């Protein structure tokens, strides 16, 4: 059983009770950069396809930003994206189970049920398929550098033999998504009382869910710490 979430924004792409809406773009972009492995979802006459793909984000390209990624040429998903199809990308932030035992309301009246806390971003946009080395090389370099730059001994694309890298690029296809719709949902106990929120934060911290505990405190009714 999951607790009722409250009033929602009707007719939109993601179910969003108003108290869970996160519309600060910098907060949304931060999650996308911290959790860059997005679920690329698209559909055609044969059905829905979904693949986990690491993305890079250029927040300054276009009104709402641009996503770049690549997939294996053997992956059939890119074939039905190449004609300007639309795609959905889901970025999943921290998540954690919430036991009713953490709620002050459990002792008060017992009318509580379990739920799940999470932070999520959904992005929609039009896809351009990129097959040329002049696009692919900067993309794989940017993706690599974003994850290697802070390592003690960072690896660079240029560390591999040039002919080997060229061969690898022939086996991939670029995916560029011009974002036209971006939505954040931070379901982190905002619909609970201050006492319940404090109990959730303490419970999360006791179980090592410190990232989610921090979100509950920052988005809650009481003091942040």
CA distance 165 to 99: 49
Helix (H) or strand (E) run with residue 124 in it: strand 115-130
| Residue 147, C-beta contacts closer than 8 angstroms, at least 6 positions apart | none
- What's residue 2's pLDDT? 65
CA distance 59 to 167: 30
Residue 23 has pLDDT above 50, yes or no: yes
Q: How confident is the model at residue 80 (pLDDT cuts 50, 70, 90)?
A: confident
CA distance 107 to 105: 5
Residue 10 has pLDDT above 50, yes or no: no
Q: Select from 135, 145, 142, 144 the least CA-distant residue to 173.
A: 135
- What's residue 184's pLDDT? 97
CA distance 118 to 49: 24
Residue 42 has pLDDT above 80, yes or no: yes
CA distances 79 to 12, 92, 114, 129, Å, are 28, 26, 42, 9
> Beta 21-22 vs 172-187: how paired, if at all?
antiparallel
Residue 161: Cβ within 10 Å count: 9
Residue-wise pLDDT tens digits, 180-198:
999 999 999 999 999 999 9
- What's residue 14's pLDDT? 81
- What's residue 78's pLDDT? 94
Residue-wise pLDDT tens digits, 129-142:
999 999 999 999 99
Cβ atoms of residues 156 and 148 within 8 Å? yes
Residue 9 has pLDDT above 70, yes or no: no
Q: What is the pTM of this model?
A: 0.91
Residue 205 has pLDDT above 60, yes or no: yes
- What's residue 158's pLDDT? 96
Q: Which token pair is 26?
A: 């910098």
Residue 225 has pLDDT above 50, yes or no: no
Residue-wise pLDDT tens digits, 103-134:
999 999 999 999 999 999 999 999 999 999 99
Strand partners, 126: 86, 178
């Amino acid at each position: 059983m999951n607790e009722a979430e409250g009033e929602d924004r009707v007719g939109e792409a993601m179910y969003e009770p108003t108290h869970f809406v996160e519309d600060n773009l910098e907060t949304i972009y931060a999650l996308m950069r911290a959790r860059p492995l997005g679920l690329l979802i698209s559909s055609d006459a044969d059905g829905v396809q979904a693949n986990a793909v690491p993305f890079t984000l250029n927040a300054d390209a276009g009104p709402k930003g641009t996503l770049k990624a690549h997939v294996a040429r053997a992956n059939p998903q890119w074939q039905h994206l190449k004609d300007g199809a639309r795609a959905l990308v889901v970025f999943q932030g921290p998540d954690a189970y919430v036991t009713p035992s953490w709620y002050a309301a459990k002792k008060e009246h017992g009318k509580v049920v379990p739920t799940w806390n999470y932070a999520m971003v959904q992005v929609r946009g039009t896809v351009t398929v990129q097959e040329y080395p002049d696009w692919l090389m900067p993309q794989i370099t940017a993706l690599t550098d974003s994850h290697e730059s802070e390592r003690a001994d960072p690896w660079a694309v240029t560390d591999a033999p040039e002919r080997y890298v060229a061969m690898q690029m022939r086996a991939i296809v670029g995916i560029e998504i011009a974002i036209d719709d971006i939505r954040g949902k931070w379901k982190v106990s905002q619909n609970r009382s201050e006492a319940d929120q404090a109990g959730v934060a303490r419970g999360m911290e006791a179980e090592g869910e410190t990232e989610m505990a921090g979100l509950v405190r920052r988005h809650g009714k009481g003091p942040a710490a």
